[in-house]
A and B are shown apart, each in its own frame.
Chain A
């Protein structure tokens, strides 16, 4: 099973300031069958279901603001928020879809300072 490790686990951010979350996998997430890296990022606002923000490292899902961006390769990945807004409060999870079983990181709690 691929282990996903996120940091930090808690992220206090001032409104309007950038935020960055790191995610590291225990093995390469490059999928042999298609050559893509199936690393996803999810946001979970308080009391809501998770919502996918990013797939294949850097592709934003429909409706996701462009202040969210993903980057990285192989085993090291980053989610960045260029300017944090109030509605960004919640948990963020990385998840790999390259290897079965899919596995999630522990989550990063983003809060406003």
Chain B
């Protein structure tokens, strides 16, 4: 079964930085676009951005205003989310997800990890 497991969530002070990781197994990681999605407490999911198979193309939600950066290491089957200038409103569960990004299987996340929790508070 395809697996994604996020890590790196923590309690961080406002203005701080954090880097999340996502480890992929079973599927051919390098053949897939990947996304990050977050969900604040009691709210619906919010798509943060995605990255193409090679890591050359990245698209971000406007709301991030350049504070977050998505990257990947295909040799390590890993996806990353670097978060800077964190604010209280960034408190959420962060999910990595596979995006088929194809006409056949759609544009939208078909496999999700269990998530990792980020809390921004002093």
Residues on A facing B (Cβ under 8 Å):
1, 31, 34, 36, 38, 40, 42, 44, 49-52, 55-56, 59, 61, 91, 93, 95, 97-98, 100-107
Contact = CB atoms under 8 A, between A and B. Distances in A.
Contacts of B46: 104
Contacts of B41: none
Given A49-B114, A101-B59, A59 B45 contact: no
Interface string B95-112: 100011001011111101
A101 B47 contact: yes
B107 A38 contact: yes
A102 B108 contact: yes
A38 B99 CA distance: 12
A59 B110 CA distance: 12
- How extensive is the interface on chain B, given as a class? 20 to 34
Contact of B110 (A36, A52, A93, A107): A52
Contacts of A52: 108-110
B44 A104 contact: yes
A105 to B, nearest CB: 7
A26 to B, nearest CB: 15
Contacts of B37: 50
Contacts of B49: 101
A50 B110 CA distance: 9
Contact of B106 (A38, A44, A93, A103): A38
Given A55-B108, A59-B106, A49 B95 contact: yes
B9 interface: no
Contacts of B103: 34, 36
Kindly list the 3 A-B residue pairs having the minimum CB-CB distance in the complex, ordered from nearest: A97-B107, A55-B106, A40-B108
B62 interface: yes
Interface string B18-50: 000000000000000001010000001111011
